[in-house]
Every structure is written in structure tokens, then in C-alpha cells.
Structure 1
Amino acid sequence: MTPEITALTLAALLHVGTLTLLVICANVQLPRYMTMGKRDTDFSDQITGKTARVYRTYNNSLENLMLFGIAAGIIAISGQSTPLTATCAWVFLAARVLYIPAYVYGLTPWRSYIWLTGVIATTIMLIAALV
């Protein structure tokens, strides 16, 4: 397994952890009939505070994981793994690990810098695949 795919796998597991945290927080904050019901309506507008931040972190993770997954997949499939792309993959993963608490605890502007670091690392991987 390439370092990029290993980082992708770990990032996916981190995403599962974020989902788990969201489920726990939502179940504490919302009535059981909402969390255990049919989910015909969106209740995201009824969560507040740290639970709402965890929800936004989860959505941000989805967006970033998609781009990183494309980058890691292209690098692995095309056999273009290099020390640069491997480093970028680990930087992305580290940024995602740091982003969760930075967002949940409202560490501005640091959360934006951490997010940007992950996006830059992913972008470098995509450019490296084309060169």
C-alpha cells in the first residue's frame, strides 16, 4: 500500500470517528424521537454550540476527503508516489487531525490555517500527478 493510500485509509477512519462524535453529541442534545425517528426532516438547524460545530466539521471532512481521495487514488493508480506526494499525504492527515479540535473549540484563525494547509497539500499532490 502506498503512503498516500495509507493516509487516505487513516483519514477515512478519522472521518468515521468524526461521525461517531457527531452521533453522540446529537443524541445528547436532541430528543430521542428525533435521533431515532424516520429522519424525514433535517434537524441540523436544531443543534447548537459544540454539536453544531462537530456537524460542520463532519461536512467539511466529507468535502476535503473527496478531493484528497481523488489525489491519493490518482497517485497510487498511476504509480507516481514520491517522497513529495507521501509527505503531502501525511501533512493532509495531520491537518485533518488538528482541524477537528480547532473547529470544535473555535480556535480562529488557526482552524482556517490548518484547513488551508490540508488543501495546499492535496493541491500539490494533484499537480504532482500531472507533472
Structure 2
Amino acid sequence: MSAEIAALVCAALLQIGTLFVLAVFANMELGSRWTMSPRDLAPEHQLSRFTARLKRAYENHFEGLALFIAAVVAVEASGENSAVTALAAWAYVIARLAYVPAYVMGLVPWRSVLFGVGLMATLVMLFAALI
């Protein structure tokens, strides 16, 4: 397994782990009656600041993950795997791993810096695939 694919697997596991933590807190706060419903109506009360931030971090990771998947596929398909693309892939994973708690704790500007690191790592991989 290439380093880029291994990093992609870890990024997906991070997303699943974030979903698990989010589900636990959302169920505690909103109750399973609402979380298991079709959600046609708004919940009776809002999520706490912590859980709402965790939800936004989870949703934001989908945006970055879609581009990261494209970058990994491009690198793998082009055969342009290198130490640079491996480093970029792991930089993405580490940045996203740090991004979730930074977002939840409201660490400004660090969550934006970490988002930028992940995006730049993805761009490095995409450009490497073009060479």
C-alpha cells in the first residue's frame, strides 16, 4: 500500500471517528427520539457550542476530504508517487487531525492555518500528478 493510500485510509478513519464522537454528544444533548427521527422538524433545543462546532468540523472535513481523495487518485493513477506526495498526504492527515480539536476549542487563527496546511498539501499532490 502506498503512503498516499494509507494516508487516505487514515483520513477516512478520522472522519468516521469524528462522526462517532459527534453522534455521542448529539444523542446526549438532543435525545435519541430526535436523532433517530426523520428530522422533518427542528430539534426542541440547539446543540451546545462544543457539539455545534464538532458538527461544523465534521462537515468541513467532507469538503477537504473530497479534494484529498481526488489528489490521491490523481497521484496513484499517474504513477507520480514520491517522497513529496507521501509527505504531503501525511501533512494533510496531521493537519486535519489537529483541525478538529482546534475548531472545537475555537482556536483562532490556528484552525484556519491548519485548514490551509491541509489545502496546500492537497494542491502539492494535485500539481505533482500533473508533472
Report TM bin, short chain.
over 0.9
Cα distance in 1, alignment partners of residues 113 and 67 from structure 2: 18
In 2: Cα distance, 1:42 partner to 1:115 partner: 30
Identity, in percent, stands at 45
Structure 2: how far apart are the matches of 1:130 and 1:42? 46
Query: Who is 1:74 aligned against?
Result: 74
2:86 maps to a residue whose letter is: A
In structure 1, the gaps of 5 or more residues are: none
- Aligned partner of 1:97 in structure 2 is 97
In structure 2, list runs of 5 or more residues that go unmatched: none
| Residues 15-34 of structure 1: pairs in structure 2 closer than 5 A | 15-34=15-34
Secondary structure class of the residue paired with 1:46 = coil
> What residue is the counterpart of 1:59 in the other structure?
59
User: Match of 2:108, SS?
Assistant: coil
Distance in 2 (CA, whole Å) between partners of 1:52 and 1:78 is 39
2: CA distance, partners of 1:49 / 1:120: 29
User: What TM-score comes out, normalization by structure 1 length?
Assistant: 0.93
- Within 2, Cα distance between the matches of 1:126 and 1:17? 26
Question: Which one-letter code corresponds to 1:68 in the other structure?
Answer: F
Q: Which amino acid is the alignment partner of residue 2 of structure 1?
A: S
Q: Distance in 2 between matches of 1:73 and 1:100?
A: 24
Per the normalisation by structure 2, the TM-score is 0.93
The AA in structure 1 aligned to 2:68 is F
Structure 2 CA distance for aligned equivalents of residues 106 and 83 of structure 1? 33
